[in-house]
Amino acid sequence: MSDTIDLQEAKAAPSPVGTAAEVAAFMHTTPAALAQDRYLGRGIPYVKHGRKVLYKWSDVQSYLDSNTVNPGAA
* Assigned architecture for domain 13-62: Orthogonal Bundle (1.10)
Ordered by start, the domain boundaries in the chain are: 13-62
CA 44-50-56 angle, 5° bins? 30
pLDDT in tens, 15-67: 999 999 999 999 999 999 999 999 999 999 999 999 999 999 999 999 999 99
pLDDT at 8 over 90: no
What gap in Å lies between CA 32 and CA 38, rounded to an integer?
Answer: 10
